[in-house]
Structure 1
Amino acid sequence: MVEPMSRRQILRAVAGSAAAVTVGTGAAAPAGATGSRVPRVVRELEEKIKAGMTAYGIPGVAYGLRYQGRDYVGGFGVTSVAEPAAVDGDTAFRVASTTKTFTGTAVMRLAERGRLDLDRTVRSYLPDFRTSDEAASRRVTLRQVVNHSAGWLGDVYTDTGSDDGALARYVEALATAPQLTPPGRVFAYNNAAIGVAGRLIEVASGKVYEQALRELILDPLRLRHSGFSLDELGGTPVAVPHGPDENGNQVAVPEALAIPRSFHSFGGLYSTARDQLRWARYHLGDGSPLLSRRALRAMRWRPGPGGTLLVDLDGMGVTWMLRPTAEGPRVVQHGGDLPGQHSGFMLVPERDFALTVLTNSEGGPSLLAELFADDWALRRFAGLHNVPAKPRALPPSELAGYEGRYVTEQIGYDGERVSSEVDMVGVDGRLSLRIGGVEGVALPFYRRDFVLVRSPDGSDTHFRADFIRDTDGSVGWFRFGGRLYRRNPSSSAALRATTTAPQLLPVTLPHPTRF
């Protein structure tokens, strides 16, 4: 048995690992090498990554950056604390939900060939498709599927086997998925919908999803270190997921790399920082032959309903998160989360800027929040800022309209439904979100129905969330991390009656962006 490394040993390994930086098309050079001509702001990014690794216990990080017409790729730390090997720009990580952007691009390739049409119904291609709502199943379009407004429960994680029929069976199993909102009406992050998109790729191409994606996307763009299995990676080193043990030490959990095949279209891709940067350059419009320029831009046109997905959201395009800035240029963003594998991905076409960061531990989301949800990277590399959000206090009479118990659910590997609930209580001009009576986060409002997500001590998490109103004007849903929590307003009086001073304990919501 290999004993887990202590936190101090992990950080020593991290601090001792040099970054390999590629500038333009030149050869790799160690960070700090004489003559490498790496801009100061790139060094700042590297230092921020290393500081985050120390602060959040992240054994390994790789990054890719497009800045002022040049490319930078680097890695820090180790692939595994159990069997340490250096991370670099050619180390593979699960990129989780960034896979959705590959699925969306494959849909657009098939649309350009006339095999799919974004504005036709799903049933045009899958006549037997249905969720629990027949009317919604009949009306929902492919565009609503890829812009996350299909309306059915999105967190459906049914394991339907590992053979070539896995995705078809996954989509058939959605027959029991509850329809939460009418198609096209509300943005709600939807893994299951992108599963449907993956199945439509199979139907339109006549090939299983993984083969279709390789032929439509991976091979034409020469993404040679990206794939859905370790066999496809051909010996590429792989970053192992990590999580804390009972003493807070990071331990390797290699079994967490395994996910059901039915998840591949919405979260199964392995890739490297170098390949992810190549992917970013393609979507910045580097001229590579794949989609026409018009189709490439169309992936960022006509966003669906807006709201929040950890930051303010104009809406989703064709699987791309379209994010506003104070200055006007739109950020095109994604990222992904699996246990022990967390990544961020953003680009700004108007600034020829892109950043991808891949991490291999449960500490990853904290670093990614600083880089991707906060202004840090946007401000330094693109001269852009988040839409301003100044918190303000609301009187108890206004807060009362948001109070109550909120419930969400998901469908697990075996098809079982699991629900969880949180309570909202008005305190000192803002909302207190509580789990089991303990304050998890504070929610001060910055505009009607939109809140900042703060730790109980008031520190900024860099996240935002919002509330959705029903047709009668009352608050019906809380949206956090793109997920919908249904409000039970009748519980408000009971919650207020039993609430005393908040307990400021380190309790938080489950991470909001699995996949």
Structure 2
Amino acid sequence: MNINLLRVRVVAVFLFGGLSAWVPYGALADTMEMDPEKYAALKAFADSRLSETKVPGAGVGIIKDGKVIFAGGFGTRDLNTGEPINSQTAYLIGSSTKPFTVTAIAILAEEGVLDWDERVQTYMPSFKFKDEYVSEHLTLRDLGSHRSGVVDEPEWMGSTLSRGEMIESMSDFEQSFGFREKFEYNGSGFMILGHMATLASKTKFEDVVIDRVTKPLGMENTIWSDLSGPNPPYTDNVAYPHVVEDGEARRIDFMFEGEAIRPSGTMTSNIDDMLKFVQFHIQQGELNGKRLLSVESHEELITPNSISSYGAGLSQEKHPAWQELYGLGWWLGNYNGHRGVHHGGNSTGTLSQVFYMPDNDFGVVTFVNVEDFLSDELVLFIVDLYKDELQ
């Protein structure tokens, strides 16, 4: 017999044994429209893994067939207070910012402001790496697909240098392998992309993303924020970073990340907003009847440019083909023959994952408030939970 779907919108703590003001591994759901058996399985898995890993809390969002079927959290956003996570809890998304950067660049390309295949020196004649040939031939596409062959960036976190000053300092960056020879993850390339957007559009990069991406999508709680210090500046509902030491978790303060690295990864968002971003990409550049990007330009973002050997998170023995390729700002893989697109991100004390299946109208976003790949485990568990329906 079919089980009726739960169709409720609530703010409550769900527990197998009853209701309480707060229990460390209860679920706070702002949108709940899952099959009860699937929800019970998800909750049991989340509760178990939070307990085993000592991660204080996790945020989860699921989109299926064009609608949000779950948006909420498990555990606590702040171990010091025990306050629960919900779909409005803000968190640092780290390198999950990169898909925002390439989306903005793609929109500028449609406007004729930038071109993925144009040389960086066209927009910034003074730009150079140590290798003259690479400096002269490097394109925006090379940067967006991590195939420059240049060594990865030094530790830029917390630097007070401007983005332009950082890029000037890259003039002595050497090749770690041949130009366009293979994939190597490199955050410096996205800082350069952001600077190209500024130079070509004559608009601050951060404003390009807000004005052309987040604001049109109604992502009102997605901002550029350096959440430095113990007191977040714009909301009380923040997932604080934590570390696990000697088998116990403890809260830590937000680390100052600096403005220059923003194109590579310093956005703050929440589950509700990130689900809008995922739905926009599932619908190939459109949300709520508003098209920001043509289907052709969107498809270019998820067309392979590099073969990736980057072995983190979703690249597990269970799904060995998950991270084989990289497009522009997105990893590309497959799940039982279906395309999977994703990008993860970490900041000090947090880790996030954004995932969608473009041919199956299905997407998942997760975050955890410890640097633990539980965020990716949750994605894999949820996709497995719905595998029979992803045909």
Q: Pick one of 296, 299, 318 that aligns with 1:297.
A: 299
Question: What letter matches 1:381 in structure 2?
Answer: Y
Q: Aligned pair 1:90/2:88, yes or no?
A: yes
CA-CA distance at 1:383 after TM superposition: 4.4
Deviation per CA, 1:418-457: give whole Å up to 9, x if none: xxxxxxxxxxxxxxxxxxxxxxxxxxxxxxxxxxxxxxxx
Q: Aligned pair 1:174/2:179, yes or no?
A: no
Of 173-182 and 48-57, deviating more is 173-182
CA distance in 1, matches of 2:135, 2:387: 42
Deviation per CA, 1:1-58: give whole Å up to 9, x if none: xxxxxxxxxxx965364421414xxxxxxxxxxxx66442233223212221111011
TM-score (norm 2): 0.83
Q: Aligned pair 1:227/2:252, yes or no?
A: no
Change (3 A) 1:383 1:137: farther
Deviation per CA, 1:167-211: give whole Å up to 9, x if none: 111211111222112222201111111111111111122122222
Change (3 A) 1:102 1:87: same
CA distance in 2, matches of 1:158, 1:306: 24
Change (3 A) 1:254 1:182: same
Matches within 5 A, 1:411-490: none
Give the structure 1 partner of residue 64 of structure 2.
67
> Where do 5+ consecutive residues of structure 2 fail to align?
1-20, 316-320
Give the structure 2 partner of residue 475 of structure 1.
none
CA distance in 1, matches of 2:67, 2:56: 27
Change (3 A) 1:79 1:371: closer
Change (3 A) 1:43 1:352: farther
Q: Pick one of 275, 284, 309 that aligns with 1:277.
A: 275
CA-CA distance at 1:128 after TM superposition: 1.1
Give the structure 2 partner of residue 143 of structure 1.
141
Deviation per CA, 1:344-375: give whole Å up to 9, x if none: 1110011111011111013x32x234234xx5
SS of 1:22's equivalent? strand
Give the structure 2 partner of residue 53 of structure 1.
50
Change (3 A) 1:56 1:37: closer
Give the structure 1 partner of residue 239 of structure 2.
239
Question: What letter matches 1:251 in structure 2?
Answer: R
Fraction of identical pairs, as percent = 25
Question: What letter matches 1:179 in structure 2?
Answer: Q
Matches within 5 A, 1:262-411: 262-285=260-283, 286=287, 287-310=289-312, 311=315, 312=321, 313-325=323-335, 327-362=336-371, 364-365=372-373, 367-372=374-379, 375-383=380-388
Give the structure 2 partner of residue 470 of structure 1.
none
Change (3 A) 1:262 1:37: closer
SS of 1:150's equivalent? coil
CA distance in 2, matches of 1:186, 1:154: 13
What's the RMSD between the two structures over aligned residues? 2.4
CA distance in 2, matches of 1:37, 1:160: 41
Give the structure 2 partner of residue 184 of structure 1.
180
Instruction: Verify the 8 A CA contact 2:157 2:258 in the aligned structure 1.
Output: yes
Give the structure 1 partner of residue 250 of structure 2.
251
Higher RCO (C-alpha 8 Å, min separation 6): 2
Question: What letter matches 2:364 in structure 1?
Answer: L
Change (3 A) 1:48 1:160: closer
TM-score (norm 1): 0.64
CA-CA distance at 1:136 after TM superposition: 1.1
SS of 1:324's equivalent? strand
CA distance in 2, matches of 1:55, 1:13: 19
Change (3 A) 1:199 1:309: farther
Question: What letter matches 1:98 in structure 2?
Answer: S
Instruction: Verify the 8 A CA contact 2:54 2:247 in the aligned structure 1.
Output: no
Q: Aligned pair 1:204/2:200, yes or no?
A: yes
Deviation per CA, 1:93-127: give whole Å up to 9, x if none: 10101000000100101000011111111111111
CA distance in 1, matches of 2:157, 2:331: 27
Instruction: Verify the 8 A CA contact 1:139 1:183 in the aligned structure 2.
Output: no
Give the structure 2 partner of residue 428 of structure 1.
none
CA distance in 2, matches of 1:86, 1:232: 17
SS of 1:351's equivalent? coil
Change (3 A) 1:124 1:218: same
Give the structure 2 partner of residue 106 of structure 1.
104
CA distance in 2, matches of 1:159, 1:242: 18
Instruction: Verify the 8 A CA contact 1:168 1:199 in the aligned structure 2.
Output: yes
Question: What letter matches 2:97 in structure 1?
Answer: T
Structure of greater Rg = 1
Deviation per CA, 1:268-317: give whole Å up to 9, x if none: 01010111111100000145321112211221124323434432434211
Give the structure 1 partner of residue 154 of structure 2.
156
CA distance in 2, matches of 1:292, 1:120: 20
